[in-house]
Amino acid sequence: MGLVTCKPERDAERQNRQIETQIRAENQANKRKVKMLLLGVSDSGKSTIVKQMRVNYLDGFNETEVVNAIFVIRNNIIDAFKNISNIILHSDINVTPEEKERLHILIEIILDILVINTIRQFGCIKLFFERFTTHPLVPDHIHYFYPNLERIAVANYIPTTEDLIHMRQTTLGVHEISFDFTKHTIRLIDVGGQKTERRKWIHFFEGVTAVIFICSMASFNQTVEEEPKSFVWESSLNRVQNKVLVRSSGKAKVEKPGMINRLDESVELFKSIRENGFLRNSNFMLFLNKVDLLAKKLSKIAFSDYFPDYKQWINGDNSVPSVAEFIESMFREGLEAEHRIFAHLIQANVTSNVEYTFGLCCDVIFEKNLDDTSLE
């Protein structure tokens, strides 16, 4: 009789062990799943990072995307040249009557890429690229596309991977990719950086292992329209619920009323995100992007003209290392001691640079996850 009553107990113990083993296996599998958010203001380089991840860890771009990119790239160039033409006509650059007529047509009419290719040799255009390479109204991708105009204008043009990396396309909504990295599965989520898109961010904050925040250091001489004061986070768990996400610090040079410095915008947005309750235990990676464009601008522009406080900085010279260090300090200012930030200078349009930096970030994230697991 004793043997009969013991058998159900042994079966129950075996089932319990099986359940516990299954739970441990599922927990280990979940530890290998990493949810990352890509955040930042518009034109910071977030989408470029996503494209680099696809090149490095997935299959790159499919045929449909390459074909669609032809239209987007050519429109990038046309839009940029409309801005360039307008700047030239309002500058002291010498323009011949024929050139002036063509530039006015370019501004007022939607033209084919072939027309852009015919005016690229104009003296005023060449002079513009010599004198106004750092103009805040000129998108930085045009400095890549301008030397490639002849290739892009041909009828049978097929974009290269490098072309797609430099292509500018506004991110609307949410874009997500998943890929394997070492023994982990990365779920990378890119949400639009426009102010109207930021209301959607809160829905993706739960369960985030790491936040990669992208800032364009070269945006220090650019401005954006100021956010209405009524804008607040849509979350009762946010400790800064009534804080204006985007506001001028008063330190940066602002050219027009109602406009704020774009670098200020990025810093304020980062701090608001960093203080969000959902992300308290998330790793924060700060990618200070466009170091190459920053170097070009600093060769012609004094950073302190836009951020006067920089004159009291440690070095105060106009070098990239010193300015980058100052910009990083802007992001760290006022944060609590437990708010650790891992900052990296990057050039998002260089594939090898992004691959190397992302690897460094993952080393930190995976090591922290391992530490957290050992404490449980």
- Cα torsion 130, 85, 307, 273 to 10°: value is -120
Is 193 marked as a binding-site residue? yes
Tens-place pLDDT, residues 142-179: 999 999 999 999 999 999 999 999 999 877 778 889 99
Mean pLDDT of 86-94: 93
289 is in an annotated binding site: yes
Provide the whole-model pTM: 0.81
10 versus 91: the higher-pLDDT residue is 91
318 versus 238: the higher-pLDDT residue is 318
Across the chain, mean pLDDT equals: 82
Residue-level pLDDT at 249: 43
pLDDT at 260: 87
Does pLDDT of 136 surpass 80?
Answer: yes
Q: State the Cα–Cα distance between residues 114 and 129, nearest whole angstrom.
A: 19
Q: Where are the alpha helices (DSSP H) in the chain?
A: 2-31, 46-57, 63-89, 97-108, 113-119, 123-131, 142-145, 149-152, 161-166, 262-274, 291-298, 320-332, 351-375
The answer to whether 292 is annotated as binding is yes
Pairing of strands 33-39, 184-191: parallel
Dihedrals phi, psi of 261, to nearest 5 degrees: -70, 135
Higher pLDDT, 231 or 220: 220
How many residues are listed for the chain in this entry?
A: 376
Q: Tokens 């009553």 belong to which residue?
A: 5
Q: Using H for helix, E for strand and C for coil, what is the string for 84-135?
A: HHHHHHCCCCCCCHHHHHHHHHHHHCCCCHHHHHHHCCCHHHHHHHHHCCCC
72-81, 85-94, 190-199, 276-285: least confident range:
190-199
Question: Which residues face 34 on adjacent strands?
Answer: 186
**Domains defined along the chain, listed by start:** 35-60+171-366 (3.40.50.300), 63-166 (1.10.400)
Residue 247 has pLDDT above 50, yes or no: no
Model confidence at 74, in pLDDT bands (50, 70, 90)? very high
The share of the chain scoring above pLDDT 90, in percent, equals 52
Q: Give 254-290 as a DSSP string.
A: -SSTTEEEHHHHHHHHHHHHHT-GGGTTSEEEEEEE-
Tell me if 191 is assigned to a ligand binding site: yes
**CA torsion through residues 348, 350, 352, 353, sign:** negative
Residue 205 in this model has a pLDDT that exceeds 80 = no
Query: What letter represents residue 60's amino acid?
Result: G
Q: Check whether 86 is labelled as a binding-site residue.
A: no
348 is in an annotated binding site: yes
Q: At what angle do helices 351-375 and 46-57 cross, to 10 degrees?
A: 90
Closest by CA to 150, choosing from 125, 113, 109, 124, is 113
Q: How far apart are CA 48 and CA 54, in angstroms?
A: 10
Rounded Cα gap, residues 110 and 356, in angstroms? 41
Per-residue confidence (pLDDT) for residue 253, from 0 to 100: 63
